[in-house]
Amino acid sequence: MIFQDAVASLNPGRSIGETIAEPLRVIGKIGRKARFGRARELMRQVGLDPDRDFVTLPHEFSGGQCQRISIARSLIMNPKLLVCDEPVSSLDVSVQAQVLNLLERMKAHYNLTLLFIFHDLAVVKNISDRVAMMYLGKLYEIADSEDLYRSPRHPYTAALLASIPNPHSGRVPSNPTRPGVDIPSPANPPSGCRFHTRCPRAHNRCIHTQPDLKEVIPGLQVACHYPL
């Protein structure tokens, strides 16, 4: 896993080399020399200099460098799945692009599946093959990225996409998919469809019955009684 706060996810008293090699130490099957050799190899792959940085502590690195360290640590066990929890949200835009490009390269090199957890819709579109939209802990739409952004089927997905500001427009357009402001508590979600208190298409059925996630066309699933 790669965590959102790269700096806080690293032990401040442990050198970078030790941090990256730690998972191999935990499983206890690889000697110190082999562990550190593998850690140095991964440091090179993520753009760090092992000759200079191996014994350095985390506080001497920037946020983007700390995220590179986290990526190296996550790859040292040769995983098949990498969970990326908002891995660039705390970084500035130029560094975000560098880290995302690095993850793309690692994905190809290690034949990885990457599961991104994101709220930045522009980033999601650019990096994802498939997208799953959630509301209050429930999946409401799953589709290929291009299909979902071109033609959303769930009212919540449509409202999210419509909320993206248009820098070329001098006015706020009329938005028939805009949700209401009755935002329910995640600790006590509404009955039936959890989005019904805000949905402009809600009917009585939505209040009482939770819609199942169903495939409406090949590759596209939506949980809505009245999809778009």
Given a contact cutoff of 8 angstroms between Cβ atoms, the answer to whether 55 and 15 are in contact is yes
Is the C-alpha dihedral spanning 141, 135, 200, 208 positive or negative?
positive
Per-residue pLDDT reduced to its tens digit, 1-10 = 999 888 899 9
Q: Sorting pLDDT into bands at 50, 70 and 90, what band is 175? A: low
Same domain, 152 and 195: yes
Same domain, 106 and 139: no
Would you say residue 209 lies in a domain? yes
Residue 98's domain comprises 16-127
Residue 176 has pLDDT above 90, yes or no: no
Instruction: Tell if the pTM clears 0.85, that is, is over it.
Output: no
Would you say residue 11 lies in a domain? no
Stretch 76-91: mean pLDDT, rounded? 90
Residue 170 has pLDDT above 80, yes or no: no
Would you say residue 83 lies in a domain? yes
Would you say residue 9 lies in a domain? no
User: How many domains, the chain?
Assistant: 2
Would you say residue 190 lies in a domain? yes
Same domain, 150 and 121: no
Q: In 60-154, which residue ranges form alpha helices assigned H by DSSP?
A: 63-75, 93-110, 121-127, 145-150
pLDDT given for residue 130 in this prediction: 94
Q: Sorting pLDDT into bands at 50, 70 and 90, what band is 173? A: low
Looking up residue 80, the CATH number of its domain turns out to be 3.40.50.300
Residue 179 has pLDDT above 70, yes or no: no
Partners of 2 in the β-ladder: 84
Same domain, 59 and 39: yes
Residue 36 has pLDDT above 90, yes or no: yes
Same domain, 83 and 37: yes
Would you say residue 61 lies in a domain? yes
pLDDT given for residue 68 in this prediction: 93
Same domain, 116 and 81: yes
Same domain, 21 and 34: yes
Stretch 50-55: mean pLDDT, rounded? 94
Token pair listed for 218: 């090949």
Q: Sorting pLDDT into bands at 50, 70 and 90, what band is 196? A: very high
Same domain, 117 and 138: no
CA distance 183 to 4: 26
Given a contact cutoff of 8 angstroms between Cβ atoms, the answer to whether 197 and 129 are in contact is no
Would you say residue 45 lies in a domain? yes
pLDDT given for residue 195 in this prediction: 93
Same domain, 119 and 137: no
Would you say residue 211 lies in a domain? yes
Residue 169 has pLDDT above 80, yes or no: no
Residue 168 has pLDDT above 80, yes or no: no
Same domain, 121 and 20: yes
